[in-house]
Amino acid sequence: MLQQLTINNYAIVDQLEIELEAGMTVITGETGAGKSIMLDALGLTLGDRADREVIRGGAERADISACLTLPENPAVVAWLKDNDFDVDENSCILRRVITRDGRSRAYINGQPTTLNNLRDLGEMLIDIHSQHEHQSLLKTATHQRLLDEYCGLQLDATEVKTLATKWRQLNQELENIRNRAEESNAQYQLLSYQVKELEEIGLVENELEALEEEHKKLSHGEASMQVNQQVLDLCNENESFNLEQSLGRAISLLQEIPYSSKQTEEAGGLLTTALIQVEEASSTLKHAIDGFELDPERLEEIDQRLSLIHQLARKHHVPPAELPALTSKLVDELSGLSEADVQISLMDEELSKLLQRYEELANKLSKAREKGAKKLAKEINVQLAILGMNSASFSVALTRFSDSTPRSSGLEGIEFLVSTNPGQPPRPMVKVASGGELSRISLAIQVVTAATSSIPTLVFDEVDVGIGGGVAKSVGELLRKLGEKGQVLCVTHQPQVASQGHQHLYVSKSSDKNSTATQLNKLNKKERVEEIARMLGGEELSDQSLAHAEKMLA
């Protein structure tokens, strides 16, 4: 419920702090004192639009805060958590700031937020009904909520909404996959061709290095053999001169010396080692020459393969060595595209199951709504008669949707219809011309649905305009009845209504040469008798009006 409303520099209000209680609180006062201004300010904390004209003259900004308690309101707590706001499960603070430059800032529990968030949360906490604006009762979404709550169908309605949401999300996902599948058909063909081309060449890891090495060997084979043979001739095959003969002759000469010095022996050892190494080199060269065969056909084959590899690498803009990795990547992509048909089939099956479950539950919900709508309309028509609208007729229209697409609301749209005069067809509440009639219709609806409605605070601004006598008394009694189930704030000019309040606030204004200011006071028992008497008989209080006022309050 609304616990406190703080208003700073709004319209003619300088500074005002209003403490509110449960039950029915009536607000009265002299004309132009600002009774409805307070409700307009409250509307700003609930997300109403505003401009800088609402700022009090001489001030730079208007600042309005509403503090609400949240006992037994898990839906609000859940909304705060779902939208990442700080949560105090006992209270919630809505704040609005409007500055001279035309900017508006909104806050929930001290955190900056959007007007949409403020509006969404506000609609769960407070419902305002006035001559000009009915915050939620003109919305068909509210009609559905009130009917479902009245019939005790909240759980079924929530499940229907959840199923419809899941169906829409899955259906959209399926459409996206199908669109991608159509768009990727050309891509699939291209990938298939590319993979086939790459797999046909069959390049494996490290094959390129081996091919390039073999190509070098074959392409330079003849020159290598000529050099090998020339070196072998120098080592031991040249009859006129070769290294082995020369080294052997040198070793023999050293051995023929009668006396060898240490250096001579060392030189002989080195020459012997050199001879051994030359012999080994000659043997290695002979093996190389004997084992090498020129293979022009193999060289041509390698040339062609390397040419294909480099051509394919240029085509795909990758280094030749990365072709095996590219093949693996394209194969994975192709596999992913080919799995789309399987995925589409599975999602189609899941959609069918969701639709079947939705239709079963939505049909059950529709039958219960149809039955409950008649009962709700009957009870509201009783209340309308009590409020002096004997000629009015209230009904609940359940209009079946023409297509079978799952909707969050179920199989039908729900709208409250009213006929205010005999012979007139029922019309949507939003088209009811008279503000006073609309206010009383709203009151009748709230009285009937109060026990099941989740909104804790109801605000009625001059709901009693254009009525008097017994009807005004009935209005007051119904508002008090609502207040006993929650919190009701009521701006009124009718003493019959004001006398029914659990609390009474009086609004007045004071003026000087420079400004006008609004004050608000909670009336004690004596002051309340005087205010009711004033409302009955004017500014001059008589013994008769005071006695009448006491009797009404009693």
CB 90 within 8 A of CB 69: yes
Band of residue 389 on the pLDDT scale cut at 50, 70, 90: confident
The distance of Cα 361 from the centroid of its chain, to the nearest Å, equals: 26
Tell me what pLDDT residue 388 has: 84
Comparing 53-57, 118-122, 215-219, 296-300, the range with the smallest average pLDDT is 215-219
200 contacts: CB under 8 Å, gap ≥ 6: none
Tell me what pLDDT residue 164 has: 95
Residue 156 domain-assigned? no
In this structure, are 28 and 111 located in the same domain? Answer: yes
Q: Residue 406's closest CA among 170, 217, 142?
A: 170
Tell me what pLDDT residue 444 has: 86
Interatomic CA distance for residues 7 and 19, integer angstroms: 12
In this structure, are 28 and 108 located in the same domain? Answer: yes
Residue 56 domain-assigned? yes
Interatomic CA distance for residues 346 and 340, integer angstroms: 10
**What is the DSSP annotation of 95-152?**
EEEEETTS-EEEEETTEEE-HHHHHHHHHHHEEEE-SS-BTTTTSHHHHHHHHHHHHT
Residue 321 domain-assigned? yes
In this structure, are 71 and 202 located in the same domain? Answer: no
Band of residue 281 on the pLDDT scale cut at 50, 70, 90: confident
Tell me what pLDDT residue 433 has: 56
Inform me whether the pLDDT recorded for 232 exceeds 60. Answer: yes
| Percent of the chain residues topping a pLDDT of 90 | 31
Inform me whether the pLDDT recorded for 231 exceeds 60. Answer: yes
Q: Per-residue pLDDT tens for 21-68?
A: 999 999 998 776 677 788 889 989 998 888 888 898 888 999 999 999
Q: Write down which residue in 338, 372, 387 finishes a domain.
A: 338
Inform me whether the pLDDT recorded for 167 exceeds 70. Answer: yes
3-state helix, strand, coil in the chain (%, to 5): 55, 20, 25
Q: Say which residue, 442 or 165, is predicted with more confidence.
A: 165
Tell me what pLDDT residue 182 has: 67
Inform me whether the pLDDT recorded for 502 exceeds 80. Answer: yes
Q: Residue 120's closest CA among 66, 90, 150, 83?
A: 83
Residue 493 domain-assigned? no
Comparing 78-87, 92-101, 334-343, 346-355, the range with the smallest average pLDDT is 334-343
Q: In total, how many domains does the chain have? A: 2
Inform me whether the pLDDT recorded for 333 exceeds 80. Answer: no
Inform me whether the pLDDT recorded for 89 exceeds 80. Answer: no
Residue 41 domain-assigned? yes
In this structure, are 191 and 78 located in the same domain? Answer: no
Q: Write down which residue in 306, 322, 338 finishes a domain.
A: 338
In this structure, are 292 and 194 located in the same domain? Answer: yes
Side-chain half-sphere exposure of 448, counting CA atoms within 13 A: 24
Whether the pTM exceeds 0.85: the reply is: no
In this structure, are 105 and 204 located in the same domain? Answer: no
CATH number of 52's domain: 3.40.50.300
In this structure, are 197 and 290 located in the same domain? Answer: yes
Comparing 96-100, 400-404, 450-454, the range with the smallest average pLDDT is 450-454
Tell me what pLDDT residue 424 has: 87
| Average pLDDT of the chain, as a whole number | 84
In this structure, are 307 and 195 located in the same domain? Answer: yes
For 329, the domain range is: 187-338
**What is the DSSP annotation of 171-199?**
HHHHHHHHHHHHHTHHHHHHHHHHHHHHH
- Residue 64, SS3? strand
Tell me what pLDDT residue 53 has: 86
Band of residue 157 on the pLDDT scale cut at 50, 70, 90: very high
In this structure, are 126 and 199 located in the same domain? Answer: no
Inform me whether the pLDDT recorded for 336 exceeds 70. Answer: no
Q: Residue 447's closest CA among 380, 389, 369, 375?
A: 380
Comparing 61-65, 102-106, 204-208, the range with the smallest average pLDDT is 204-208
Q: Write down which residue in 307, 338, 369 finishes a domain.
A: 338
Inform me whether the pLDDT recorded for 353 exceeds 60. Answer: yes
In this structure, are 3 and 104 located in the same domain? Answer: yes
Dihedral sign, CA of 303, 304, 307, 308?
negative
Residue 50 domain-assigned? yes
Inform me whether the pLDDT recorded for 183 exceeds 70. Answer: no
In this structure, are 107 and 204 located in the same domain? Answer: no
In this structure, are 334 and 197 located in the same domain? Answer: yes
Residue 536 domain-assigned? no
Inform me whether the pLDDT recorded for 222 exceeds 70. Answer: no
Inform me whether the pLDDT recorded for 216 exceeds 80. Answer: no
Inform me whether the pLDDT recorded for 184 exceeds 70. Answer: no
- Residue 223, SS3? helix
Provide the b/e sequence for 252-281 (b: ≥16 CB within 10 Å).
eeeeeeeeeeeeeeeebeebeeebeebeeb
Band of residue 524 on the pLDDT scale cut at 50, 70, 90: very high
Residue 22 domain-assigned? yes
Residue 285: beta bridge partners?
none
Tell me what pLDDT residue 171 has: 92
